[in-house]
Structure 1
Amino acid sequence: MYNFEVVTPASVADAVAALAEDEAQALGGGQTLIPTLKQRLAAPSKLVSLTGIAEMKGISTDDAGRICIGGGTVHADVAAGVPSYPALAGLAGKIGDPAVRNRGTIGGSIANNDPSACYPSAALASNAIIVTNLREIAADDYFLGMFETALDEGEIITQVKFPVPEKAAYIKFEQPASRFSLVGVFLAKYADGVRVAITGASNNGVFRWTEAEAALSGNFAASALEGLSASADDMIADLHGTAAYRAHLVAVLTKRAVIAAV
């Protein structure tokens, strides 16, 4: 490690002001950032901890019936606090290990947009709204590519709003050591159609499998996916699996997600 300053603002406004200073970076649960600092892949001179901001924590329901989760809410609280959306709770309960689940935050995960992270698939499949200190961003407009998002410099995720679907499921084929998704499929059925989001598979990060969405919106059954395959183009290829293997997993896990949701 190296020397840096840590500040602990008590409000979003104070955090935004601190992040406006040169070489300042936001710190959520630190499950991604701290290892990055240890490897000297980033070297901010100031970390702005968001863990002490009470207004960024907690789970509630708004007038539209959406589940509203504060950006600073840890995974363990999401796992225990959203019984009306069991697929989302189940996703949170399978992230990492207990230490990670009690430190990592939903806002940090979505802000980082790791290509193998779980929450981005939930947000994209749920057509969630990412709320920041400045604006509200639809999930379809938020995720721009691997580690890329629509967030501007110094912008903070304060809340994520999830519309509750009629049916949903999350199926993850995890890498045993890291427990990240080798491939993860989040499927959500709403009155106006089905959304299917894939994580862990693509070099472009989380994405919607629109062909599967069209098939399932017409017939919400695993049989609707027969003969449908995901393209291996732009799929991740590494020591854990080839691009073709990941494309195969996308199709297999999507069928399993339909069965689990039904």
Structure 2
Amino acid sequence: MGKIKATGLKTLMAAGALSALLIAPVPTAQADDSQIVVFAAASLKNALDAINAACEADVGETAKISYASSSALAKQIEEGAPADVFISADLDWMKYLSDKNLIKADTEEQLLGNRIVLVAPADSTAEARLEKGFDLAGLIGEGRLAMGDVQAVPAGKYGKAALEALDMWGSVEGKLAQAENVRAALKLVATGEAAAGIVYATDAVAEPGVKVIATFPEETHAPIIYPVAQTADSRDEDTPAFLKCLHTGKARKLFEEQGFTVLAPAAN
């Protein structure tokens, strides 16, 4: 099954345009040493933008944050893109960098938890039960099921695992619209380009154009954990202060308002 091109030219153009508007480009030139550069999973955008502003007084500066899929960001760091902090939407891509000694091991920790949900356009009357025997393919009908790339994007990998556990994968595999990140998949549903989508619960909170019609049982996929770490090549002296601010009460409040579960201990 191909990626987003399977939905046709209209979907391809919509996904590309919307993704370009939502996700900041990954820096490829030399970074400005006076500003912290953070590479973060796309699903963190709303919460992390708010935290970045709230932490400015504590850190002494605001960070430059680039959002994309964890896989794309990890590969960019591997290729030498300047970044001080990496926040992944799964453990695998953090391990990918750790195995290559591209992060500072003593700074790595599990920061957040999340859930995956099935969403439909806000005006949809669809109802779903995420259990074996439910006809998800029938719910989608002639439409598409939007989700992140199941080979690389964490939300797509979690979604595929859940569908396989519920014996639904075979019936919907041919109906997929795979996107380059979870926010692009979310927009396909919000704009009606897809009949339903699998996204994080936090994404559904951030997008009024969709509604949650079911939540995937946690036992159908690996735990959704967002690790954070300072990169091995980090140059900004304020990076430790930024990492510390992610543990403050104000950061916790902003993460929780977006639906995340905070796993990291509070800052001393």
Scaled by the length of structure 2, what TM-score is found? Answer: 0.26
Higher strand residue share: 1
Q: Which has the higher contact order (CA 8 A, sep 6+)?
A: 2
Higher helix residue share: 2
